[in-house]
Amino acid sequence: MTDDVSPTQSFSLDGDDLPFASGETILQAATRAGRYIPHLCWHPDFAAHGSCRICSVKVNGRVGAACTVQAAAGLEVESNTPEMNRQRKTLLQMLFVEGNHFCPSCEKSGNCLLQATAYQMGMEGPHFEEFYPNRPVDASHPDILLDFNRCILCELCVRASREADGKNIFAIGGHGMGTHLLVNSASGQLGDTAMSLDDRAAHICPVGVILPKRRGFVIPIGQRRFDLKPVSQQREGDAT
């Protein structure tokens, strides 16, 4: 992506002309212009992944992920429409029931992108039957807790550890319903890795999987990032 934004290069986003720079995706151009497109697995500092599909938009009538579709002159992009928001809400409901997400007691509440996006989409409760999977909690590291119950497989920790920290602490294993987050150590325990609280991967998780120990509720509920402003009004990367 470049910073060379040309007013002669633009596409339509929900009826408004949006200029873009050469090499930008739809989501990058929208974010730079202050236009909110919901997303979970995308972060401006890392390569797009396109796994959560929350950023799906209609591009000239066909659905695509805004984080991976390149902006091009003349595109007609539909994002904030009843149809696309219903699709996002359904995807969010599926994410909530396939993990163990108990927001009222979660120390990430108010700082959780999944929770904030669900509020933004008007989700009031689960629509599908909960899976209640058996997932572990790893407390082996002296400074970092891993709670696999909340993982949404965004792979941000995988990308941050590889691209920013150069450590490859995390990976994704399995397939289908058995897909899960892995720790790259002989024991499979985080305590047997070189991960540090100073690592970018220690602070990139959009939900409550990777948590610094001995912090918990230092910032009270009601005073946290998404308690103060809805996700649609946040500047991308504020928390990380």
- pLDDT one-digit tens code per residue, 181-200: 999 999 999 999 999 999 99
Distances (CA, A) of 182 to 6, 62, 92, 128, 228: 43, 34, 23, 27, 34
Give all domains of the chain, ordered by start, each with its CATH number.
5-80 (3.10.20.740), 97-230 (3.30.70.20)
Q: What is the dihedral of CA 180, 185, 190, 195, to 10 degrees?
A: -110
* CA distances for 73 relative to 37, 42, 62, angstroms: 19, 23, 16
pTM of the predicted protein model: 0.92
Higher per-residue confidence, 94 vs 177: 94
C-beta atoms surrounding 97 within 10 Å: 17
Q: Is 127 helix (H, G, I), strand (E, B) or coil?
A: coil
Residue type, 175: H
DSSP state for residue 97 in the 8-state scheme: H
pLDDT bin (cut points 50, 70, 90) of residue 6 is: low
DSSP code for 20: E
